[in-house]
Amino acid sequence: MQGAINFPILTLITFLPALGILIILLIPSGKDKEAIDLSKKTIKWVSLGITFIQLILAAIIYVFYNSAKTGINDINTFQFVEKVNWIHANLPLIGNIDIDYFLGIDGISVPMLLLTTIICFVAILPSFKITKAVKGYFAMYLLLDLGMVGVFCALDFFLFYVFWELMLLPMYFLIGIWGGPRKEYAAIKFFIYTLVGSVLMLLVMIGLFQSVGTFNILDMMDPANFKAGAILSGSATTLRYAAFLALFIGFAIKVPLFPFHTWLPDAHVEAPTPISVILAGVLLKMGAYGMIRIAFPIFPEAFGYFQSLIAWIGMISILYGALCALGQHRVGKRDLKKLIAYSSISHMGLVMLGLSSMRPEGMVGAIFQMFNHGTITAMLFMIVGVIYDRAHTRGLDDFGGLAKKMPVYTGIMAIAFFAAIGLPGLSGFISEVLVFLGAFKTFPVLTAVSVLSIILGAGYMLWALQKIFFGELPNKWKGPWDPTGIEYKTDDINGLELTALIPLAVIIIFLGIYPNPMIDLISGSVNHFIDLMKPFVFIGGL
Amino acid sequence: MTKDTLLLSFIVLLIPMASFLINIFFGNKLGRKSGIVGTFILGIDLALAIVAAYNKLFVFSEEPVIQTRIEWFNLGTVNFDIGIGIDNIATIMLVVVTLISFLVHLFSTVYMKGDRRYPTYFAYLGLFTFSMLGIVITNNFLLMYIFWELVGISSYLLIGFWYEKGSAANAGKKAFITNRIGDLGFFIGIMILFFTYNSFMFDDIFSGIASGKMPFNNPTMLTVTGICIFMGAIGKSAQFPLHVWLPDAMEGPTPVSALIHAATMVAAGVYLVTKVFVMFTADALTFIALTGAITAFMSASIALVQRDFKKILAFSTISQLGYMIMSLGVGGYTNGFFHLVTHAWFKAALFLTAGSVIYAMHESIHHKNDHHTDAQDIYNMGGLRKTMPWTYLTFMIATFALSGIPFTSGFLSKDGILAGTLAYANLTGGWHWVIPVLGYLAAGMTAFYMFRLTILAFHGEHKTEIARNTKENKLPILFPLVLLACLSFWFVYSSNPFEASEGWFQEKVVQPVSVVPETSQWKFLLPEMAEGQAHNQGDNPENSDVVQASPENTYLNRFHEESHHFHYLAMGISLFMAALGIMLAFMMYKFKIINAGKLEVRFKFLHSFLYNRWYFDELYQATAIVGTLALSKSLSWFDTYIVDGLVNLSSYIIRFVSRLTGLFDNYVIDGAVNMASTFTGYCGSKIRKLQTGKVQAYIVFMLLGILTMIYFFV
């Protein structure tokens, strides 16, 4: 524990949702209609309260966080550290197993922690529209929240893995029960795909434990801790390369990178709005986070060996995602959610390209891009949710001329769309430019080709904008959304939706003009990270 | 104080942003007042800009550039510095932008008065003005790129302002995406520069180049970088081959066309080239000159046959931008920028007169309840001279300026450009002569199409009832016209109508000395000084704003000298070409000596080639657009059926295998188990039959057993 904070704040922020789950489960469902309504309402407000407190805690962490201490592989410069022995066993054949409950954060986890708490808080608001099995939904939601926060705080591989798996299960149910028409397919696809990644991770984890004798991630980064002759000892061995690839694929599935991405469009299309928001806003970041926290620093020479491959995959994901978003040739309707899902693949490819550069610009850009993509895409999905709730369709061809009917909504949408295409003054621009500048230093040609995405991005985003907002309003939407006037009193976006969207818009604009708070947070740790990796990687000429 | 002037220009930058914010957030409350508020704010902005410009040009004239830099953010090891700076060209641009923006605001208060989204319109104008001023006062590539993109988005919003019209929405999108193609090159150029010099600041980069540090340690890459940066200008200044967006951009409201797509935004590309002129190598400059010459010629030829009032002016704009780019390419820095300024006034005047005409036509159409007549087709006009005398007068002055007729500003600047191309061709020789030839052909065509437009729209009889019923507009529309027309006369720039170099403008805008190593630049652009001294100049390019001519030599360099020699020849040819064009226009459309209709039929192929804009749109549609869409569709297909197909296939395989396993388990493993039990059961059931329960049978078996035992053991 550090500085002014003398209580285990990371444990508190991680396990607060567990308290929420307990409260929710204890709230009686009620018998008559009034009691049921009251119970549902209470559940919703309890969840909102829990996520709000979490957000406050994250803000406290941000305030007391010292960006001069950079973490990465040095336990002394991690902050808010909590380390307690959790499992201690002496087993025959295997020997001592020591698993620590080991939490701590540095400049790479803090932005993710902030992102998670922000997204979990704002995504509660569209969740208020859930009517089916409210108790189960919010319990699952908070469990998911717990898993995500835990992943970003854990510094013990075993603990990391537990949180990682913990968040998988609620996600499966949230898509599978509260999702759209093909929810079962999407949920099982998501589950199995991610599980494949988990299995790969598990294998490597066991191998690393065999070689190091502990699950401590920081210890694994030091080659001196590897036992002589153990399977993953040494440097640049085939087994280490294989282990790196296994971890990489495990995390790449989550990012997702081409060609492991096809679960994403299905999951997004079928998931309910708030879950899409969390999926795009937070879950995708875990893959990239896992790479930075685990895969790259533990196997630096393997990263160096596969560095160009990773850059290639980044470039392919960028262009492939953008072209697929432009293509939208799926059987059936052209779906706005699917378009955004593919754009996510493109934007996460950018993160990969930045990471592969091993330049401060590229890596800071990549982590900043993770944060920005989280907020921007969360906004985009909520915006789609707004219209889907009213029109019960998201088909790109079903709309037109909405700008006239919903001017405020159009303004908010424009901010999100322009942020997604990297308009200056909005946060996406800075991270995109940083990534390109850094990647260009290491991989000039690949990056120059990747920059094509700024044209493709403008292409599909403006096309979608035009399809939905410009032109003539189709006759079927000419009247009010809700003729009874109960659910939607006006044509335009309502207060609840604005409450969820405006904070995100403010963050996007603020960081677009004054990115320093986020960049100061990240850059110290990134420079530390690069120093760690430098002996093993290629950083280009000049 | 110099810092005060800098601060003042920073305030000039911020004020339009205030207009944007006020109108976007309080526009609905302000209602019709938002236009007045916007105009008022811009009026203040203009006044401050004039003060700033005066201070820079006349009070602090010995200071080449007043600038500042601050750190935006830093990554520990890498700094991102930005800053603003004003030199002479920047302050002149400040006045150009704010004045035209102010006039357009004023004009729009009437022109847009019936519009449903009146406050939004003024908000967008404010946003645009802010972004454009940002381009003007930046002193680094990072801010340049940022404001570059912001200008792009405000242009997108304003072109598509009437988004209910599909064509307007399409035009906005087309403009934005075409510009982004140019920006792609621009951005790659910036990446190369940042990679090499680790800075975005012009000063750092220029001194880096001057010190001999080359991108990728290869002088050719400096040319490539220069061309990459120039690609940004190709997009924004609508140069060949990315010019296709500008004619479509005329879908926007006409005052917007005047502000953005004639006077300011499209000039941003030219301004960019001017700003970073010192870093272009000889090869890059040749590329620039040729691009400009082709653009000037091509679009002038297209303008010859167009029917739409605004489209003719749009192609004329492209052509004139080509002139500016060409001038910069051949080394005529001062004249290129000079033409930018003179063109800004008279082209804004032309567009606003077009707005005035279209507005009057619309009012007339509205009066008649006619919904079929195209208010912008010049074949529906005619005789407007009588109904709209003030509009006609200002239009004529601007037309004279555009056609390069003496006593106008356009004559001064165009003449300088053409003299420069002749000097350039003479100094370099060979195929470079094609550049002045294209330039002069364009000059002739310009005079022709402008007088064709004048005669068809304003002269003769009213071609329609609507044209007959047009009325002259009110003061808010006429005042900008008159002011801009006044600014199109020679005396604004020089006391001698035939010699621009005697005026204040050419004295203040002096060609800087290139920082490019001597081997990669034109010899004739090297300063006319003792050998060796030239190098010292490179360290601080802006220093050269102050003329440093040696006593025996009043010329900056060979090019400057040569241009002077060609001055009168150039003027002569230029006047001849203009006269020829005007004469032809009168013969064809006024006196009908040459039958335009017959010519059209006789050269049908040529006519449709020109009318269809050299088929560039069709070409791009058939190649780039269809290609990209086909690629994206096939990738989408690939994603659905191959990548995802493989995923699903693997799940089918697993399911198939598990079914096989299931069958095996059911029939083989479980079968064996069941068989064992069946067998046991079977045996049991068979053996059970022995258990008859009859004592007699048991006795018989027992006896048999005993007998068997006796047999064996005894």
Could you read off the pLDDT of B211-242 as tens digits, one per residue? 888 888 888 899 999 999 999 999 999 998 89
Q: Which helix (H) or strand (E) holds B71?
A: strand B66-74
B18 and B36 part of one domain: yes
Question: Does B164 contact A519 at a Cβ distance shorter than 8 Å?
Answer: no
Nearest CA in chain A to B634: A327
Query: Which residue, of B581, B609, B637, is where some domain finishes?
Result: B609
Mean pLDDT of A314-337: 81
B595/A364: higher pLDDT: A364
B144 CB burial (10 A radius; 0-12, 13-18, 19+):
buried
pLDDT at A479 over 80: no
Domain count, chain B: 3
Residues of A in contact with B146 (CB under 8 A): 424-425, 429
The Cα A404–Cα A400 span in angstroms is 10
Mean pLDDT of B667-676: 87
B526 and B673 part of one domain: no
Give me the residues paired with residue B644 across strands: none
Report residue A2's pLDDT band, with 50, 70 and 90 as the boundaries.
very low
Mean pLDDT of B492-517: 81
Nearest CB neighbour to B146, from listed A328, A403, A424: A424
* A374 and A281 Cβ atoms separated by less than 8 Å: yes
Q: What is the mean pLDDT of chain B?
A: 86
Residues of A in contact with B631 (CB under 8 A): 323
| Ranges A315-319, B487-491, B521-525, B532-536, most confident | A315-319
- Collect all residues with Cβ–Cβ distance below 8 Å to B334 and sequence separation of at least 6: B416, B506, B509, B510, B511
A208-237 confidence digits (pLDDT tens) = 988 888 888 998 998 888 888 888 888 888
pLDDT at B414 over 70: yes
Examine residue B268 and state whether it is found in any structural domain, yes or no. no
Mutate to test the interface with A, among B24, B636, B642 (most CBs of A within 10 A): B636
Give SS3 for A481: coil
Mean pLDDT of B261-268: 87
Examine residue B213 and state whether it is found in any structural domain, yes or no. no
The Cα A530–Cα A197 span in angstroms is 26
B558/B256: higher pLDDT: B256
Task: Measure in Å the smallest separation between the Cα of B234 and chain A Cα atoms.
Answer: 16
Q: Is the pTM of this model over 0.80?
A: yes
Nearest CB neighbour to B76, from listed A329, A360, A541: A360
* A321 and A346 Cβ atoms separated by less than 8 Å: yes
Mean pLDDT of A513-534: 91
Query: Which residue, of B587, B609, B631, is where some domain finishes?
Result: B609
Q: Which DSSP symbol is given to B116?
A: T
Closest-CA residue to B503 (of B412, B599, B570, B608): B412
Task: Measure in Å the smallest separation between the Cα of B132 and chain A Cα atoms.
Answer: 14
Task: Measure in Å the smallest separation between the Cα of B490 and chain A Cα atoms.
Answer: 40
Examine residue B197 and state whether it is found in any structural domain, yes or no. no
Mean pLDDT of B679-686: 88
User: What is the model's pLDDT at position A299?
Assistant: 92
User: What is the model's pLDDT at position B532?
Assistant: 43
The Cα A118–Cα A61 span in angstroms is 13
B686 and B594 part of one domain: no
pLDDT at A1 over 50: no
Give me the DSSP letters along B389-426.
HHHHHHHHHHHHHHHT-TTBHHHHHHHHHHHHHHHHHH
B532/B426: higher pLDDT: B426
B186-216 confidence digits (pLDDT tens) = 999 999 999 998 889 999 999 999 888 888 8
Report residue A5's pLDDT band, with 50, 70 and 90 as the boundaries.
low
Report residue B462's pLDDT band, with 50, 70 and 90 as the boundaries.
confident
Mean pLDDT of A14-19: 93
Lowest model confidence (mean pLDDT) among A241-255, B174-188, B297-311, B529-543:
B529-543
Mutate to test the interface with B, among A329, A451, A452 (most CBs of B within 10 A): A329
B273/B513: higher pLDDT: B273
Examine residue B166 and state whether it is found in any structural domain, yes or no. no
Nearest CA in chain B to A185: B648
Nearest CB neighbour to A472, from listed B164, B177, B195: B164
User: What is the model's pLDDT at position B594?
Assistant: 79
Examine residue B224 and state whether it is found in any structural domain, yes or no. no
Q: What is the mean pLDDT of chain A?
A: 88
Mean pLDDT of B577-581: 90
Question: Does A471 contact B643 at a Cβ distance shorter than 8 Å?
Answer: no
Mutate to test the interface with A, among B70, B191, B648, B653 (most CBs of A within 10 A): B191
Examine residue B168 and state whether it is found in any structural domain, yes or no. no
How many other CB atoms are there within 10 angstroms of residue B629's CB atom? Answer: 15
B475 CB burial (10 A radius; 0-12, 13-18, 19+):
exposed
Examine residue B151 and state whether it is found in any structural domain, yes or no. no
* B329 and B292 Cβ atoms separated by less than 8 Å: yes
Q: Which DSSP symbol is given to A332?
A: S
Phi-psi region of B216 (alpha: psi -120 to 50; beta: other; left: phi over 0): left
B580 and B627 part of one domain: no
Task: Measure in Å the smallest separation between the Cα of A433 and chain B Cα atoms.
Answer: 9
Question: Does B176 contact A361 at a Cβ distance shorter than 8 Å?
Answer: no
3-state helix, strand, coil in chain B (%, to 5): 75, 5, 20
* Total residue count of chain B as it appears in this document: 714
pLDDT at B541 over 50: no
User: What is the model's pLDDT at position B101?
Assistant: 92
Lowest model confidence (mean pLDDT) among A117-121, A211-215, A365-369:
A211-215
Examine residue B323 and state whether it is found in any structural domain, yes or no. yes
pLDDT at B529 over 70: no
Residues of A in contact with B145 (CB under 8 A): 424
B193/B626: higher pLDDT: B193
Q: How many Cβ pairs within 8 Å bridge chains A and B?
A: 144
pLDDT at A70 over 90: no
Q: Which helix (H) or strand (E) holds B439?
A: helix B434-458
User: What is the model's pLDDT at position A294?
Assistant: 92
B597 and B663 part of one domain: no
> Can you list the alpha helix ranges (DSSP code H) found in A470-515?
495-513
> Can you list the alpha helix ranges (DSSP code H) found in B586-694?
596-602, 604-611, 616-620, 626-637, 644-663, 670-688
Lowest model confidence (mean pLDDT) among A444-448, B168-172, B275-279, B532-536:
B532-536
Task: Measure in Å the smallest separation between the Cα of A249 and chain B Cα atoms.
Answer: 15
Report residue A393's pLDDT band, with 50, 70 and 90 as the boundaries.
confident
B488 and B345 part of one domain: yes
Query: Which residue, of B585, B609, B633, is where some domain finishes?
Result: B609
Angle at alpha carbon of residue A264, lines to A260 and A265, rounded to 5°: 120
B618/A14: higher pLDDT: A14
Mean pLDDT of B670-695: 85
Residues of B in contact with A516 (CB under 8 A): 72-73
B433 and B505 part of one domain: yes
Residues of A in contact with B27 (CB under 8 A): none
- Per the structure, the complete domain to which residue B129 belongs is given by 1-139
B443 and B567 part of one domain: yes
B470 and B582 part of one domain: yes
Task: Tell me what percent of the residues of chain A surpass a pLDDT of 70.
Answer: 98
Question: Does A471 contact B194 at a Cβ distance shorter than 8 Å?
Answer: no
Residues of B in contact with A527 (CB under 8 A): 75-77
Boundaries of every domain in chain A: 330-542
B578 and B708 part of one domain: no
Lowest model confidence (mean pLDDT) among A324-328, A352-356, B117-121, B450-454:
A324-328
